[in-house]
Amino acid sequence: MVDFIIVGGGIAGISFAETLFKEGKSFIVFSDKSQNSSLVAAGIYNPVILKRFSITQDAKEHLEYIRPFYKAIEDRLSVTLDFPVPIHRRFTNIEEQNSWFEAIDKPRLEPFLSPDIVHAHYEGLSTPFGLGRVRHTGYVDTQALVQHYHAFLTSKKKLLTETFDYDKLLIEENSVSYDNLTAKHIVFAEGFGLKANPYFNYLPLDGTKGELLLIKAPDLKLDIAINSGVFILPLGNGFFKVGATYEWDDKTAIPTAAGKAELIEKLEAIIVCKYEVVDHFAGVRPTVKDRKPLVGTHHIHKNVHLLNGLGTRGVMLGPPLAAELYQSIVEGVPVKKEINFNRFKI
């Protein structure tokens, strides 16, 4: 018997697996890589929602939590995952500058927004009204995280690369079993795959398709990330990620010509240099109608749990929410009502 079965090997599943690893608990992870949003995500962590100039819930605590969390993984796996990079909001007019200064006056936002307009020149970038700097930002290389963490799980014989068959799951009062595997608990962290989960498919996980471009632009001299309708994230050696689109009807992970055209149009309104599209990605984010995660324990089966709905902020939300779910299961600490999925009734 193991302590936990985890279904899903993306950011949510890895966050819970790492939590268990640190706590000395035994577990097995199922992952067939059918849900690829973690692989194609930009992995940006940013406490401020720049479109609305609001701050994410518990932003300061989450930022403080994720840095040592990813550092522990980096040290153990000998890989660099966390890249602190300043994010700059590109202003397109005076009104956007004024909105920035208004936001700085809000006590919760003040620690994260620089009061000075940046007028530095970045070759290849158009900045007619300057830039506003967001503090305490960066990105996690999600593709490297998944690749290296799965290799680590494989080396420990903790990863099953197969599709989880819900019909094979037998739930008893104090355990669950699946084929020849028995566990005390099971945690579902399948992302948009939740739609096929008979225990939780009533939850309003909409799923939002996002498309990104990988471009090569040697004449774009950026060591910061830019937010201006789309983001431009420097990866080094003249490569940048550009994204992302938001599509609510198409639930496939297939890149589209329309998505590519939208990204190119917005990109060309920002940069003034030549570039080449190297690759084009798409994935379905696990988003919820009220923009809050889905965390907690099944209303009937007390050994069946959920960690989902991380949306566009998986690298920032996954680790602390995994810890919160763990504390709920093992120590009986209630999950915060704002993220507990029981806010939605069957």
* pLDDT tens-digit map of 295-316: 999 999 999 999 999 998 999 9
Which range (23-37, 56-70, 143-157, 162-176) has the least confidence?
A: 23-37
Please give the pLDDT value at position 208: 93
Could you tell me the two tokens for 282? Answer: 């798409």
**Bridge partner list, 140:** 82
- How many whole angstroms from its chain centre is CA 182? 30
Please give the pLDDT value at position 47: 92
Evaluate the omega torsion of the peptide bond into residue 244 and state whether it is cis, within 30 degrees of 0.
yes
In this model, does residue 345 exceed pLDDT 90? no
Q: CA of 47: how far to CAs of 110, 122, 137, 312, in Å?
A: 12, 24, 7, 12
More confident residue, 50 or 114: 114
Beta strands in 125-255 (DSSP E): 131-134, 138-140, 159-160, 169-171, 176-178, 181-188, 208-216, 225-228, 230-236, 239-243
Nearest alpha carbon to residue 47 among 313, 307, 323: 313
More confident residue, 240 or 289: 240
pLDDT tens digit string along 6-51? 999 999 999 999 999 999 999 999 998 766 677 778 899 999 988 8
In this model, does residue 135 exceed pLDDT 80? yes
- Domains along the chain with CATH numbers: 2-59+142-205+289-343 (3.50.50.60), 87-134+208-285 (3.30.9.10)
Please give the pLDDT value at position 118: 93
Q: Is 340 helix (H, G, I), strand (E, B) or coil?
A: strand
What confidence tier does 57 reach under pLDDT thresholds 50, 70, 90?
Answer: confident
Please give the pLDDT value at position 346: 72
- Global pTM reads 0.94
